[in-house]
Amino acid sequence: MPAKLYKYDSVEFTLATGSTDHDLESNESGAFNNVNPWGRTLIRTNIPISIKLNSTSNDSISISPLDSPFEVDWQEVTNIFITNSSGDTASLKFIGVQ
């Protein structure tokens, strides 16, 4: 039996320090183009960041490089809001799977 083929989105970018609630869907091409919502999300970062899932009013989730890749498979994701207050530019990679 052939493996099931899933649609996915892959987004890579840098985020300047001081960025607050950077809207992934609105600001990064490739986000939520092939799949919306993401049923499984993987996040890689080289420095500590925080994210909010689906709404800026939701609680922040802190992610450090030691957590990378951070996986969200318990919540459908329709957008991600990213904050970088580390003092350094963050190199980020997001993969969203249906």
Residue pair 24/37 in contact by the 8 Å Cβ criterion: no
CATH number of 73's domain: 2.60.120
Question: Is residue 2 assigned to a domain?
Answer: no
Does pTM surpass 0.85?
yes
Question: Is residue 37 assigned to a domain?
Answer: yes
Cβ neighbour number for residue 38 with a 10 Å cutoff:
26
Q: pLDDT of 25-61, one tens digit each?
A: 999 999 999 999 999 999 999 999 999 999 999 999 9
DSSP symbol at 48: -
Residue pair 43/69 in contact by the 8 Å Cβ criterion: yes
Question: Is residue 73 assigned to a domain?
Answer: yes
CB burial class (10 A; 0-12, 13-18, 19+) of residue 63? buried
Confidence of residue 6 (pLDDT cuts 50, 70, 90): confident
The single residue listed with the structure tokens 């530019």 is: 89
Question: Is residue 1 assigned to a domain?
Answer: no
Domain encompassing residue 22: 8-97
| Number of domains present in the structure of the chain | 1
